[in-house]
Structure 1
Amino acid sequence: MSEKDLGEHGNDDRKRYFVSVQAGQILEDQQAAAYELEVYLNEREHIRLRELFDELSSMDEAQTWHFVSHPYGTAGDGERNAGYDEIIQRIYKKMYEYGSEETKRHIESMQLF
């Protein structure tokens, strides 16, 4: 994304971040860890994306605890999976909205929405 592209979002205070959805990481340093997508976020958007990753992490922990305590599942498994999928959708929508052109093409190829 060029400086011109940054202006299209209406905020010049955006910074480039490298995101791994799988790891739930938002990194400033491209070399710090493996990442999947590149986005440009202002502070408020960064916080919101971090909150979505925290929600996803909490959902993962709840699912792990539930599996250990109820290894044969319950009627609520589908509801939990739907909640997990909904958070993933929200994360990818934010990443698409603020992503580089390459990020947008990648998300489009995933056919999530």
Structure 2
Amino acid sequence: MLKKTYYISLADGEISQSSTASSWNYKIEATDEEIVQLREHFDQIYSSDWQGFYRAHTPYVQYHYDPDNDAIDNTMQQVFGLIHQLGDEEAKKHIEEQGLLNYKRN
């Protein structure tokens, strides 16, 4: 399959083929199927984030029992793994140096 260059912004879950359209964190080379997989991960994070927002406004649910946050953490690990697999040397080095393959939010 043909791989294309994409620029990934983690903050907003943006995937772009233009390096100048917006700020980006990682440069990757990916097939259309790999981009669909990455997009699905970003969509899942977005959905879990909204569910966590609603949970935060439910006072009888204790914060330490928050499967939505756990889902985001697990999906972020998958995102970092995929970016590490598809990324350029700078992306791979950054992910390794920051320990993002074992990502856990604080």
Shorter-chain TM-score range: 0.7 to 0.9
RMSD between superposed Cα atoms in Å: 1.4
Give the number of the structure whose alpha-carbon radius of gyration is greater. 1
Q: Alignment length, in residue pairs?
A: 100
Q: How far apart, CA to CA, are the structure 1 residues paired with 2:92 and 2:98?
A: 10
Q: Which residue of 2 aligns with 1:45?
A: 34
5+ long unaligned stretches in structure 1? 1-10
Q: Which residue of 2 aligns with 1:35?
A: 24
Q: Which residue of 2 aligns with 1:100?
A: 88
Q: For 1:23, which of 12, 17, 22 is the aligned residue?
A: 12
5+ long unaligned stretches in structure 2? 102-106
Q: Deviations over 1:62-91 (max 9, x none)?
A: 1111112x14642632x3322211000000
Q: How far apart, CA to CA, are the structure 2 residues paired with 1:101 and 1:72?
A: 46
Runs (4 or more) in structure 1 with deviation over 4 Å come to none
How do 1:1-113 residues align onto structure 2 when only pairs under 5 Å count? 11=1, 13-68=2-57, 70-71=58-59, 73-74=61-62, 76-77=65-66, 79-113=67-101
2:49·2:69 contact (CA, 8 Å) conserved in 1? Answer: no
SS across alignment from 1:32: coil
Q: How far apart, CA to CA, are the structure 1 residues paired with 2:56 and 2:35?
A: 32
Q: Sequence identity, in percent?
A: 28
TM value normalised by structure 1: 0.82
Q: Deviations over 1:21-73 (max 9, x none)?
A: 111110111111111000111010010000000000001111111112x1464
